Amino acid sequence: MPWQQLLNPQLRLPAAPLEDWYASVLARLGRPTPFELALLGGRLAATPGLAFLAGYQGALRALWPSAPWSLGALCVTENKSTRPADMHTRLTGLTLEGRKDFVTAAGAADWLLVAAREETPGDPARLALGVVHNGAPGVRVEALPALPLMPDIDHGRLHLHQAPCERLAGDGWDAYVKPFRSLEDLHVLAAVTAWLYGVGEESGWPQPLQLRLLGLLAGCAELARLCPRAASSHLLLAGLFAQFASLNAELDAAFASGLPHWAGLWARDKGLLSIANSARRKRLEKAQATFAAVD
């Protein structure tokens, strides 16, 4: 783990079109591990949104280690749902047909992992994961208006019409969609915490706050070594998010005493770590039930 790179003074990479910014990250880091990409990419980010992007790309590479080094995205949501039974996108042979309603960094993503149903009629919903490339035959991305949260990270809607794809091995839900929820949470938490640590170094934040941020990053690094599907990992991840939440008052005070530029960015984007709170609570409840004492 290249902690020295995190701890040494760093020149942030300026904001740029997403594919250019990401290419600059890789030019600086070489071929990092997924967690290193999240940690050091977050440290180099000029905004919380770009830190999120680094964490998201790290999570994708943790999910699919042989992924191309270009920007990618996981496409699951249809009509605000990620439940397999609610999906209409289908994989027939090696052809995808359907639509995905929310694709992160849609305009810049080179490759897209698409969750699609593949069961025969009458059987329970079963997912596969297909890989397509942005702009390939049958693949069209529709740009959507910027959101108030992380407006520098675009999103879009994916349209698929008889799109040839590569099918990844394994069950689409158990091997990919389900574990990605935890992988994304962990890697984005690490990236945003690294961004905060960098802001603190540049702004002269109190040392106890900086040390607590480092301690949180050390916990993230340990959890990145563990299986994201394990109930114990869900408990540990909940602990890391609780640790982060305990810093809210200190972070608000630190930003209030510093440069308005940083404070404005954080006020706008700090809600990004609350997006999946409901799903995390459900995973925590299931994990706690797993370890509940049996009379």
Mean per-residue pLDDT, 170-178: 96
**The pair of three-digit structure tokens given for residue 295, joined into one six-digit string:** 């009379």
Percent of the chain residues past pLDDT 70, beyond the cut: 99
Residues in Cβ contact with 16 at an 8 Å cutoff, skipping those fewer than 6 apart: 24
Q: At what angle do helices 48-63 and 260-269 cross, to 10 degrees?
A: 50
- HSE-CB at 103 with a 13 A cutoff on CA atoms is 31
pTM, two decimals, is 0.96
Residue type, 222: E
Instruction: Note the pLDDT tens digit of each residue in 16-31.
Output: 999 999 999 999 999 9
Band (278; pLDDT cuts 50, 70, 90): confident
Tell which phi-psi region holds residue 38, choosing left (phi > 0), alpha (psi between -120 and 50) or beta.
Answer: alpha
Predicted local confidence at residue 292, as pLDDT: 81
Q: What does the buried/exposed string (b/e) look like for 27-37 if buried means 16 or more CB atoms within 10 Å of the residue's CB?
A: eebeebbbbbb
Mean per-residue pLDDT, 61-88: 96
Band (197; pLDDT cuts 50, 70, 90): very high
Residue type, 121: P
Q: What are phi and psi of 160, to 5 degrees?
A: -125, 125
Mean per-residue pLDDT, 132-159: 96
Instruction: Show the domains of the chain with their CATH numbers.
Output: 3-63+176-290 (no CATH), 72-167 (2.40.110.10)
* pLDDT higher than 80, residue 13: yes
228 vs 244: CA distance, rounded Å:
19
> E strand or H helix at 96, and its extent?
strand 95-104
170 vs 186: CA distance, rounded Å:
23
127 vs 163: CA distance, rounded Å:
17
What is the DSSP secondary structure assignment for residue 40, as one 8-state letter? H
Residue type, 47: T
Mean per-residue pLDDT, 153-160: 97
| Mean pLDDT estimate for the chain | 95
Instruction: Using the structure block, give the residue that is written with the tokens 């070594």.
Output: 225
Instruction: Note the pLDDT tens digit of each residue in 198-224.
Output: 999 999 999 999 999 999 999 999 999
115 vs 103: CA distance, rounded Å:
12
Predicted local confidence at residue 293, as pLDDT: 57
Instruction: Report whether 274 contacts 222 (CB < 8 A).
Output: no
- Closest Cα to residue 87, out of 169, 172, 175? 172
Q: Classify residue 131 as exposed, middle or buried by CB count within 10 Å of its CB (0-12, 13-18, 19+).
A: middle
Residue type, 78: E
* pLDDT higher than 90, residue 275: no
Band (2; pLDDT cuts 50, 70, 90): confident
Band (295; pLDDT cuts 50, 70, 90): very low
Tell which phi-psi region holds residue 138, choosing left (phi > 0), alpha (psi between -120 and 50) or beta.
Answer: left
Band (46; pLDDT cuts 50, 70, 90): very high
Instruction: Note the pLDDT tens digit of each residue in 95-122.
Output: 999 999 999 999 999 999 999 999 988 8
Mean per-residue pLDDT, 258-271: 96
Neighbours of 130 (CB within 10 A): 24
Residues in Cβ contact with 123 at an 8 Å cutoff, skipping those fewer than 6 apart: none
Predicted local confidence at residue 251, as pLDDT: 98
Lowest mean pLDDT among 57-71, 165-179, 265-279: 265-279
